[in-house]
Amino acid sequence: MRKILTAMFIVCLLSVGLAGEVKIGYIDSQRIFAESQEYQDAQAKFDKDVENWNAQAEQMKKDIDQLIDELESQSLMLSAEKKREKEALLSAKQDTLNQFLNAVFGDNGKAERRMAELSKPIRDKILEVIEEIAIENNYDIIFDAGTVNIAYAKKSLDLTDEVLEKIAAEK
């Protein structure tokens, strides 16, 4: 709901602030991706990578579980020194698993980077097509209904340089 209100607010500002008529369109990027064979292929590659990472994590978890079982079954027979060694090894393996999971599935991890790598060419192609359609049909702004971001806007509507000039002049 908030996205819709934001989009409507921007549209109202543009309508009031511009002398001429503004031609606005929108796209649904989620539907475009869902219906794109290239994206489905990229998703399949990504899913295979995730499957491999999960298998690695599962093997690490099995090793940890095996070490826990050994430690529990042998704890009465182990010397204090050997018990500390096995506990230290267990702790190291648990730390390694946690580091692996964080490196792969954490913020900016391998999974996130891999998905970005696979989807970037598709996103770039989609943006090119949006721009072509916008230019051919004289759209001023094209919103992405899925994100309420501006997917395309005429360069003449970009006020960034003007804002930067005013900021620089105020110093």
Cβ proximity of 36 and 122 under 8 Å: yes
pTM: 0.70
Quickly count: other Cβ atoms within 10 Å of residue 33's Cβ. Answer: 18
Q: How many domains does the chain have?
A: 1
- Residue 105, domain extent: 2-170
Coil vs helix vs strand at 143: strand
User: Which mean pLDDT values do the consecutive 10-residue runs of the chain (171 residues) have?
Assistant: 57 54 83 86 96 98 95 87 91 97 96 96 88 87 77 70 69 58
